[in-house]
Structure 1
């Protein structure tokens, strides 16, 4: 391990060591090549011009700034949502999350219409990696992506998953009914509920809801092998060019005390 570490830092060490000796000055030629000699290091040509060294230095400053910003964002997302989201008017024991164009790349690109749902105030928003967020493929993503994600260690987690409509139907601007029955839709979207695979035997209940002109398919799943948790609730709808899926998950320890809370969150979801 020590040998490997030394090998990784040796170019920088050689340069630092060579320039630290006052009696071993560096000489720059008209071509920008620097010659350095040091008592403990054989003379060598360091093919690094002053301009290149300045670029490296500025690059390290920029990288440090990015890392600092990323760390600050991580801390900001660990705050309980009750500290910044408004109370839900009809039930102050929840707060209301209403997504806007500033929240996700897909909302900014117009690929997903604004959506909303309620949360207990003690929950926290979870960071989503760039590869899962769809940030790299907007405005035209071929694969599903995760919009937002919230969790609580004692109660479970919820996430919004968006999928291009073209994965499910060739009909533009199709409604969820145009795609097919609730069973057909969950067969296609099931792996995005569980995080791995979906078996039709895991589907316990389906229902259809209407809010205005928007139709939603709701699901109750018992998923003993799911990565998301052994209990999953889901709600799906289609609007514009996207199918949007809201998923609430809990493990066996969380489910007995949190199932009613999770059901209320799923029921509240609308786009």
Structure 2
């Protein structure tokens, strides 16, 4: 028994130093073995048992350290789509109508609502320099599909110099009780934007901020189009929007820009909105 406090402190310090040294040696050995073998059972092989003895640590200490670092060593690298943002021109096909743009066609691989069959596929064009942004799980509707009660964000793309575009979807029942209603069944363009305005601006929409409305027919669907000047919007001081209804969902495409982006890229932003189709 060590009764002297000074000797006890020295013993404790020496013990910690030895333990630290053994841990470092074990980590080095574990790293080397995992580098050469991704089979965890290799830790118990005769060959590796001799390696453990050579570095002067117990088999038990070695196994404990190995198990603690195994998740770090064996964890796969993140997918490229998560690890870094890339320009859409590197993976989307050229637009068949304009070589200055690429074509985005949403599929079941892109959003939870498309996988659930709650939204029909949609398309629009983009400049090849734009990048796709990740959507937070709480905003994507992933947690509530296929019976979401509130609107969710489908996809979002952005270019810092030009602006951004996002597709927002809303359950039809939020706007009307009529099943499979058309956009005309819901009401006038003004009535629809009054309900969906906060999802255009990111906060609120004043009726005076609505500068222009128009109606467009494409195939069997009718689209309501909007031009908004929104100086207090979180999305930007200029917003263009286009809405239609299909199935059990109202789909809204929103193109946004600040004053500087709008001044230089208005035609590009308008082209993106005009191309949107469900």
* Correspondence list, 1:1-271, <5 A: 20=19, 65=76, 68-69=77-78, 72-76=80-84, 78-271=85-278
SS in 1 for 2:233: coil
* Higher percent of residues as strand: 1
CA distance in 2, matches of 1:69, 1:217: 41
Residue 73 of structure 1: how far off its partner (Å): 2.7
| TM-score normalized with structure 2 length | 0.74
Residue 90 of structure 1: how far off its partner (Å): 1.6
| TM-score normalized with structure 1 length | 0.76
CA distance in 1, matches of 2:83, 2:72: 23
CA distance in 2, matches of 1:19, 1:106: 57
CA distance in 1, matches of 2:248, 2:69: 45
CA distance in 1, matches of 2:220, 2:246: 11
- Unaligned runs of 5+ residues in structure 2 are 1-15, 22-64
SS in 1 for 2:78: helix
SS in 1 for 2:256: strand
Residue 84 of structure 1: how far off its partner (Å): 1.2
Q: Deviations over 1:66-108 (max 9, x none)?
A: xx426x43334x1111111111112101111011111111001
Q: Name the CA shift for 1:69/1:217 in 2 (closer, same or farther; >3 Å).
A: same
- Unaligned runs of 5+ residues in structure 1 are 1-16, 23-52
CA distance in 1, matches of 2:244, 2:18: 65
Q: Name the CA shift for 1:180/1:56 in 2 (closer, same or farther; >3 Å).
A: farther
Larger radius of gyration: 2
SS in 2 for 1:201: helix
Residue 141 of structure 1: how far off its partner (Å): 1.0
